[in-house]
Structure 1
Amino acid sequence: MKIHFYDNKFKNAIDNYELTEEQLRYTKHPKDCIQLVNEDLHCYSLLAMEGNKLVTFFVLHKNDGVKPYSNNPKSILLRSFSTDFRFQGRGYAKNALMILPKFVKENFTQTNAIILAVNITNKVALRLYKNCGFIDEGVRKMGPKGELMIMHYYL
């Protein structure tokens, strides 16, 4: 598996990315994320590819994106994390999260932590993040879809 920054050569893969209604309760479709990312210089769309297949998508957001969740100016926010429905249950999401710290260290050299906010009702995601080394330090925030647990991964 390899993580790539989005560019237009991946447009077709994004257009064919499938999420269920259940997944869309907790995340945005990559097409919507890419539009938002284009409006913010500190926001990056990333694709986790297995060979030539797009299996997992997420966004990394620096500066203002992190501020609602952390006082640490050297942290980066992981958001809109999803796995294409057709590839769920095969370990791709876990794989992407396991290689993410190295990717962040190489591409965002001043970063010392990855932050994420996960809906507390999203039990599958909570278990995944904990199993991949993200720590719940007890911080909670209210989001548009309910209470969020703020988790940290220290680099």
Structure 2
Amino acid sequence: MELQSFNQSYQHLINEYQLVESQLKFTGHPRECLKLASNSRTPILAIVEGKLVTYFDLHQQEGVAPYSDNCNAILVRAFSTEVNEQGKGYAKQALQLLPAYVQKNFPHINEIVLAVNVANTAAQNLYKKCGFKDYGVRRQGPKGELIVMSFLF
């Protein structure tokens, strides 16, 4: 697996990426996320053998502000695994590669933050296995209460 920032040559992979309603209850589709890409919001693709298996955005500055006071933090948002690729360990692998990717591409960052819906216990467990910690911070999101988790360098 390799993590790549989005460029137009990957558009066909985004077009093929499928999520089902039960996933969309907790995350956004990459097609919608790409519309929000900016200098502070970077779409990241986890690619295995030419196929997009996991997608997420890395959001700095105003994106992380509701979840952390750390100006050197980056937020993982819209994390998902393509419906036909679930259960193969790709989400875990992407999360395990993430700290090194962030340190290489965003050297000023010393914390990775994410917010997970309290009802999404499977994702909470995955994040904990990958080194994210729950320090008791909660926020209200558009899809319910969120648990804010952090990975510190």
TM-score w.r.t. the length of structure 2 is: 0.99
Give the whole-Å Cα distance in 2 for the aligned partners of 1:35 and 1:76: 19
What is the match of residue 71 of structure 2?
A: 73
For structure 1, the 5+ residue unaligned runs are none
Q: State the identity as a percent.
A: 46
Listed one character per residue, the Cα deviations across residues 13-37 of structure 1 (whole Å, up to 9, x for unaligned) are: 1001000100000000000000011
Q: Amino acid of the residue matched to residue 73 of structure 1?
A: C
Secondary structure of the residue aligned to 1:133 is coil
Pair 1:32-2:44 in alignment? no
Secondary structure of the residue aligned to 2:94 is helix
What is the match of residue 105 of structure 1?
A: 103
For structure 2, the 5+ residue unaligned runs are none
Q: Amino acid of the residue matched to residue 25 of structure 1?
A: K
Once the 2 structures are TM-superposed, how far is the Cα of residue 145 of structure 1 from its aligned partner? 1.0
Give the whole-Å Cα distance in 1 for the aligned partners of 2:56 and 2:142: 19
What is the match of residue 12 of structure 1?
A: 12
What is the match of residue 39 of structure 2?
A: 41
Pair 1:55-2:53 in alignment? yes
Give the whole-Å Cα distance in 2 for the aligned partners of 1:139 and 1:108: 24
Q: Which aligned pairs between 1:86-125 and structure 2 lie closer than 5 A?
A: 86-125=84-123
TM-score w.r.t. the length of structure 1 is: 0.98
Give the whole-Å Cα distance in 2 for the aligned partners of 1:10 and 1:124: 29
Once the 2 structures are TM-superposed, how far is the Cα of residue 117 of structure 1 from its aligned partner? 0.5
Q: Amino acid of the residue matched to residue 31 of structure 1?
A: R
Secondary structure of the residue aligned to 1:49 is strand
Give the whole-Å Cα distance in 1 for the aligned partners of 2:71 and 2:132: 18
Secondary structure of the residue aligned to 1:36 is coil
Give the whole-Å Cα distance in 2 for the aligned partners of 1:123 and 1:8: 34
Residue number among 143, 147, 150 corresponding to 1:149 in the alignment: 147
- Residue-pair matches, total: 153
Give the whole-Å Cα distance in 1 for the aligned partners of 2:143 and 2:55: 20
